[in-house]
Amino acid sequence: MPSTPTGQLFAFQGDMLLVRLEPSITLPGPREIHSAEDAGCLIRLFPQAEGRACSCIALGKDFALPDGMKLVSLREVWSLLGEEAFVRAGRAFQLMGWHRETRFCGQCGNPMSDHETETARTCKACGLTLYPPVSPAIIVAIEREGKLLLARSPHFPKGRYSVLAGFVEPGETLEQAVHREVFEEVSVRVKEIRYFGSQPWPFPHSLMVGFTAVWDSGEISVDAKEIEEASWFAPGEFPEMPPSISISRRLIDDFVLRRRLES
Q: Phi-psi category of 192—alpha, beta or left, where left has phi over 0 and alpha has psi -120 to 50?
A: left
Q: Quick one: which of 25, 32, 39, 38 has its CA closest to 6?
A: 32
- Number of neighbouring beta carbons within 10 Å of residue 114: 17
Q: Distance from first CA to last CA of the chain, Å, rounded?
A: 60
User: Any idea what DSSP says for residue 236?
Assistant: G
Residue ranges of domains in the chain, CATH in brackets: 8-102 (no CATH), 135-262 (3.90.79.10)
- Determine the pLDDT at residue 37: 42
Per-10-residue mean pLDDT, the chain, length 263: 55 92 86 54 45 73 87 92 88 88 96 90 96 96 97 93 97 98 97 97 92 98 93 95 92 95 83
- Determine the pLDDT at residue 244: 86
Amino acid at 239: P
DSSP letter for each residue of 33-100 = --SPBP-SS----S-GGGS--EEEEEPPTTPPPPTTEEEEEHHHHHHHH-HHHHHHHHHHHHHHHHHH
- Can you state the percent helix, strand and coil of the chain, rounding each to 5? 25, 30, 45
User: Any idea what DSSP says for residue 258?
Assistant: H
- pTM equals 0.84
Contact 206, 212 (CB under 8 A): no
Does an H or E element contain 255, and which? Answer: helix 247-262
Distance CA 55, CA 230 (A): 43
